[in-house]
Amino acid sequence: MKKYFIAFLLLLAAQAMVAQKMTTLTYFQNDTLKLDLDLFLPEKASSEKLPLLLYVHGGGFSGGERQSGYDLCRYLAKNGYASATITYTLYAKGKKFSCDGILSEKIKAFQYAVNDLWLATSFFIKNSAKYTIDTSKIFIAGSSAGAETVLHAAFWDFKTMNLYNNSLPENFRYAGLVSGAGAIMDLNLITQKNVIPMFFFHGNGDSTVPYGTAPHHYCKTNASGWLMLFGSYSIYNRLLEMNGSVSLYTFCGGGHEYSGYLFEKEQHHILNFLNDVSKGKKFQNHEIIATGKKNDKSAAYTFCD
């Protein structure tokens, strides 16, 4: 009986591997840099073009690995999406990235990660026929540093911030983005001309990346690494002012540990967002999620009381 049970488990594992259809690809390479991604496709080939989600892992621009996006990518592939999790330049590795860091170096860490995401995007646009990708439905998602990456990739000016000899189509826009505990340096980067649907989730007690508007790591104003950031709640309100499509899940009292929560444990929320955007639905909603935690950073947001 035990042999049959083991054989059954091996069969299930083999079926799961088939369903994943994971392929490792090099999306950029030059004399000094090689960047890979893992692409997950639905089990059954389709003649219809597939929407694509590009996932950027967290790790403070100094650590983390693309494998942390596997569960999300597998889930999306099983539900009809192409999805890829990318390796990117960890510019802050070995450098100070908190209050005692150097501001210009912190911004470079953002810029290198953003450029790598643009390179991955360009790769799929150029190879859209080969992988049956719908280039009008390219979504981006990230956790923590990855969330900061996707926000700046969506709204920084490509011509100003581009570091490589590559290009994106004129007036290219991502179809939407998902940000887990992310923030942006300047709310004014988001305008009526470039606004896209967005889905945020964030603990409002996060002491690393502000939920509202505050310095990174809540640094003092005389800190060498002082950097003002506008977090999920501030961006959410910005989109409400613009009448844009936006969802926010607030983990009351939760800290930075919630930066990957939905990617890791409740991926159906991500899928629902992608489906709603793909169908052209308009939405504006704020979900309040109790955690049982108390944190002084949440005091300013009385909707959690």
Phi, psi of 72 (to 5 degrees): -65, -45
Mean pLDDT of the chain: 92
pLDDT at 297: 54
245-274 pLDDT tens trace:
999 999 999 999 999 999 999 999 999 999
pLDDT at 294 over 80: no
pLDDT > 90: percent of the chain:
85
pLDDT at 17 over 60: no
How would residue 217 be classed by pLDDT, with cut points 50, 70 and 90?
very high
Q: Which of 93, 92, 121 is nearest to 104 (CA)?
A: 92
Percent of the chain with pLDDT over 70: 90
- Residue 18's pLDDT is 42
pLDDT tens string 120-175: 999 999 999 999 999 999 999 999 999 999 999 999 999 999 999 888 998 899 99
H/E segment holding residue 236: helix 232-242
pLDDT, tens digit, 9 for 90 and up, residues 39-95: 999 998 777 999 999 999 999 999 999 999 999 999 999 999 999 999 999 999 999
**Pairing verdict, β 228-231 and 198-203:** unpaired
Specify the pLDDT at position 301: 64
Predicted local confidence at residue 16, as pLDDT: 46
- pLDDT, mean of residues 108-121: 98
The pLDDT of residue 5 is above 60:
no
Q: Which two tokens stand for residue 245?
A: 């499509």
User: Contact at 8 Å (CB) between 51 and 175?
Assistant: yes
Domains and CATH numbers, the chain: 21-304 (3.40.50.1820)
The pLDDT confidence band at residue 4, using thresholds 50, 70 and 90, is: very low
- pTM of the full structure: 0.91
281: tokens are: 């639905």
Which of these, 189, 182, 202, 198, lies nearest to 301 by C-alpha position? 202
